[in-house]
Amino acid sequence: MILLDAMQAVMSVDVLLAVVVGTISGIVIGGIPGLTATMAVALLIPITFSFSPLIGLAIMGGVYAGAMYGGSIPAILLSTPGTPAAAATALEGYPLTKQGKGGLALKVSVVASFIGGTFSVIVLLAIAPVLANFALKFGPAEYFLLALMGLTGVVSVATGGLAKGILSGLIGLIIALIGTNPMTGMTRYDFGIVELYEGVSFMPALIGMFSISQMLALTGERNIAKSDVDLKKIKREKLPKGIWPFIGYGTAVGTIVGIIPGEGATIAAFLSYNIAKAKSKMKHLFGKGNPEGIAAAEAGNNACVGGSLVPLLTLGVPGNTVSAALMGGLMIQGLIPGPELFTKHGVITYGFILSLFLANVVFLLTGLFFAPYFAKIAKVPSSILVAAISVFAVVGSYSINNSMFDVWLMLIFAFTGFFLDKLGYSLSAIILGMILGPIAENGFTQAMTISAGDSSIFFESTIAKVLWVIIVVLLAQPLFTHYKNRRQRIKAMRME
């Protein structure tokens, strides 16, 4: 009954308009590195106060969903992830753009984002309270294992051989050590620089290593795409066959990881990417432009949107910074997270959830319509593009924390990244180490504090046991392949 009332409430002109405006601005915000959905939602809080609650929430929800998708557009076209969660997308998207298939990559990305996003909202709508209890079972030990599971990805994102991949992951982990030790409050390797007290900020590192180092490589080319970009051909192009299971993996992983409070979307994207590679029949194409990787990663990060709202709406535990800002938007309307949200304020809450469906539809249509035109960017002369992107990279790095230090940081990462890449080290493995290092450390030390130094805490719960099994499976396959290849190579050498 409430659901019908909610549907009626959503179907009013002003709410629909709010969804469209919110989603489209979300896509733009997500597409520009340095502008985040968190900032946009925080900016909206005092403004939406004067609107009716549902309109305010519909705009914020639209921004959230739109931004999560929008991050993938520059990731694919320019190897410049608009959000950290789109980093995995860049790994496959940019190589496709180079081959003149940027339009296809964009299509795969928007469809996968739509399916991931929509499914997670269905889950939110149907079984949020049940899932909230699952979210709470995740203690520090489980967080550590989740981070470990993500770190197995180092093996699969690495393209330049196993040893260099692992070394790259270690470089990332070492960079992650910079900052405050969470247990003692002492700072490590900070050289007395206040900006490093909280660690190396992540977005400048990402922009430097992914975007600028690619732009440096581009200076030697006329433009990004080698072949021609044909508008008509892109419009007619169908999605690759067999892409659906990969969207499915991403959707499942993203929904589950999203529910767990913590910065989920980036981890979800990399984990989905990792699983996609393990499952793929075209493993050799990964890193060289495999749409399957995009499908998994994009479904994965967008599925986090619905997931992260589960603990927020039911328990008042925000899953990430965007939903923390969203919580501010809820509270100023007098909507306090908890069971009452689904009964007393049911019409607004369910209306908000339903508006998220519409937000997904809006970005799907927008994305599909503009994909061929966006793809044209691959034919823009490098002389213009490199300059333009560099400006964006500098402004973007600055605006994350309004800090000039971050701009220098970005440049350092850009140049070291360029050379490390040339030497065959994996920049994505470095990024992965940087994201997961602090989560692993925090989980490990917290778990060990709770258990007073007894390491059996990592094996106690059912969730922990399941995570161990997945870790072993994810590790076994690439290691086995590596071992087999080596044996064959040695055999071949003996034959000679």
Partner 1 sequence: MKKVLSTLVLGALVITGAFAEYPSKTIKLVVPSKAGGSTDTTARLFIDTAKKYWKNADFVVVNKPGAGGLIGFSYEQRQKPDGYTIGLMFTPQFVAHIVSKKAKYTLDDFKIIGNLAQDPGIVVVNAKSEVKTLDDLVRLAKSKTVTAAVNGIGSDDFLAAKQFEAQTGVKFNLLPTKGSTEQKTAILGNHVDVAFMNLSQMLANHKAGKARIIAILDMKRAEVAPDIPTSVEQNYDVLMTATRGMVIRNDVKKEIADKIRELYMQVIKDPDFQAKAKKSFIFLDPRPGDEYRKYLEKLQADIQRVYDKTPW
Question: For 414-461, where are the E strands, in sequence order?
Answer: none
Choice between 452 and 495, CB closer to partner 1: 452
263/71 Cα distance (integer angstroms)? 16
Q: Residue 194 CB, nearest distance to partner 1 (Å)?
A: 6
239/230 Cα distance (integer angstroms)? 16
Residue 130 touching partner 1 (CB under 8 A): no
Structure tokens at 146: 């989740």
203/84 Cα distance (integer angstroms)? 7
Distance of CA 213 to the CA centre of its chain: 20
Q: How many residues does the chain have?
A: 496
- Piece of the chain touching partner 1 by CB under 8 A; list 88-96, 214-222, 322-330, 469-477: 322-330
Sign of CA dihedral 18, 89, 435, 174: negative
- Piece of the chain touching partner 1 by CB under 8 A; list 24-32, 333-341, 352-360, 482-490: 333-341
- Looking only at residues 25 through 44 of this chain, which bind partner 1 when binding is defined by CB under 8 A? 36, 38-39, 41-43
How many C-alpha atoms does 136 have within 13 Å on its Cβ side? 12
Structure tokens at 315: 């328990």
Sole binder of partner 1 in the list 337, 372, 396, 417 (CB under 8 A)? 337
Q: Would you give the binding string for partner 1 spanning residues 396-415, x where CB under 8 A is met? A: -----xxx------------
Choice between 5 and 340, CB closer to partner 1: 340
83/32 Cα distance (integer angstroms)? 8
Q: Which of 409, 451, 454, 471 is nearest to 434 (CA)?
A: 409
Q: Residues touching partner 1: how many (CB under 8 A)?
A: 52
Q: Residue 175 CB, nearest distance to partner 1 (Å)?
A: 17
Choice between 322 and 427, CB closer to partner 1: 322
- Piece of the chain touching partner 1 by CB under 8 A; list 180-188, 230-238, 295-303, 382-390: 180-188
- Piece of the chain touching partner 1 by CB under 8 A; list 81-89, 316-324, 368-376, 471-479: 316-324
Q: Which of 129, 86, 88 is nearest to 310 (CA)?
A: 129
Structure tokens at 362: 């809006």
Distance of CA 88 to the CA centre of its chain: 7
Residue 362 touching partner 1 (CB under 8 A): no
289/175 Cα distance (integer angstroms)? 28
Residue 163 touching partner 1 (CB under 8 A): no
Task: Locate all alpha helices (DSSP H) within 316-345, ordered by sequence.
Answer: 321-331, 340-343
Sole binder of partner 1 in the list 261, 417, 437, 478 (CB under 8 A)? 261
Residue 129 touching partner 1 (CB under 8 A): no
The residue type at 285: L
Q: Residue 428 CB, nearest distance to partner 1 (Å)?
A: 25
Residue 177 touching partner 1 (CB under 8 A): no
- Looking only at residues 217 through 236 of this chain, which bind partner 1 when binding is defined by CB under 8 A? none
- Name the β-bridge partners of 318: none
Sole binder of partner 1 in the list 160, 240, 245, 328 (CB under 8 A)? 328
Q: Count the neighbouring beta carbons within 10 Å of the beta carbon of residue 151.
A: 25
Residue 308 touching partner 1 (CB under 8 A): no
Residue 390 touching partner 1 (CB under 8 A): no
Residue 66 touching partner 1 (CB under 8 A): no
- Looking only at residues 442 through 481 of this chain, which bind partner 1 when binding is defined by CB under 8 A? 442, 446, 449-450, 452
Which residues here bind partner 1, judged by CB under 8 A?
36, 38-39, 41-43, 45-46, 49, 135-140, 180, 182-186, 194-195, 197-198, 261, 315-318, 321-322, 324-325, 328, 331-334, 336-340, 401-403, 442, 446, 449-450, 452
